[in-house]
Amino acid sequence: MKPMFGRGPSLQLRLLLAVVASVSLIFLDSKLDLFSPYRVFLNSLVSPLQYMANAPSQLFDTVAGKVISREQLQAKNQELEQQVFLIRSDLLQMENLKEENNRLRQLLGSPVRQDARKMVAEIMEVDSDPFTHQVVIDKGSLNGVFEGQPVVNDQGVVGQVLRVGSTTSRVLLITDNSHGIPVRFQRNDIRALANGTGDLERLDIPFIPHSTDIKEGDMLVTSGLGGRFPEGYPIAVIDRFEYDEGMPYARVDAKPVVSLDRIRYLLLLWPSESPDPVVTPEPAVSPEPDNAPAKSEATNG
């Protein structure tokens, strides 16, 4: 019988090395955030595995798309054409209103709102850490994605980009425990914060006094105050407003308007602070100015 652990250091020493290495990694990663510059590289390194894990469902989608019948396609096409027709007619008015709004804002001396550049991203259905709410999308730094980028879909705000790889990136959902977003009540412009709770169906609105005029069913929209999310996107609907005289603040819960457990396509937004918004994603190419720890920033913005 050959000696079991003859070569190299003994098992105890190996364990000691492994424990020391992991503890220092945990500390360096979470407290000092030393690895965020290398995360792009690390994420790109493992993205082949993610694409491979995603392949079966991709294949299933392709097959399902191939076997759809002609009648179904025709019916769907008709339905979609009608939808486009309706949306187009709304858009006619929208253009007009936008123009009018911009003129009024100019009269008031407020900055004119610009259109944001958008890009569609698909969620790669890969599983994530059970303690955090994250999804992986199929766009990365090669597409100009940057850390802290706002992510929405057709219903409302989904979250923000947490980490970027070259072809994939990770989106932190608004319901994650570490996420907070500045909000405004659409009905009466009260400003507040909406913090994630770790529950996909619930956001927590802290520090609301008892006397505040809040009703169940009030819509929360982004206030644009953090400078990270553009203003006016719907986030959540108040579904609980309770107060206990003994407590300093009321207890306010909101339900996200996006059903976050069944999202598929997302929109990445490039906020247009530059005067020329439509041409290139300038802020996206240089990630340096926004390189500070994403986790702690998420709470402010």
Closest approach of another protein to the CB of residue 151, in Å: 15
The correct pick among 102, 119, 125, 239 for binding another protein (CB under 8 A) is 125
State both tokens at 220.
């929360």
Q: Which is nearer to another protein, 136 or 193 (CB)?
A: 136
Residue 154 makes contact with another protein by CB under 8 A: no
Residue 136 makes contact with another protein by CB under 8 A: yes
Q: Which is nearer to another protein, 52 or 73 (CB)?
A: 52
Q: Which is nearer to another protein, 56 or 217 (CB)?
A: 56
The correct pick among 102, 134, 155, 299 for binding another protein (CB under 8 A) is 134
Q: Which of residues 7-36 bind another protein (CB under 8 A)?
A: 7, 11, 14-15, 17-19, 21-31, 35
Q: Which is nearer to another protein, 139 or 170 (CB)?
A: 170
Site string for another protein, 166-205 (x = CB under 8 A): ----x------xx-------------------x-------
Residue 45 makes contact with another protein by CB under 8 A: yes
Cα separation of 14 and 8, whole Å?
9
Site string for another protein, 55-94 (x = CB under 8 A): -xx-------------------------------------
Report the interface residues with another protein, using CB under 8 A. 2, 4-7, 11, 14-15, 17-19, 21-31, 35, 42-43, 45-46, 49-50, 52-54, 56-57, 125-132, 134, 136, 162-163, 170, 177-178, 198, 261, 295
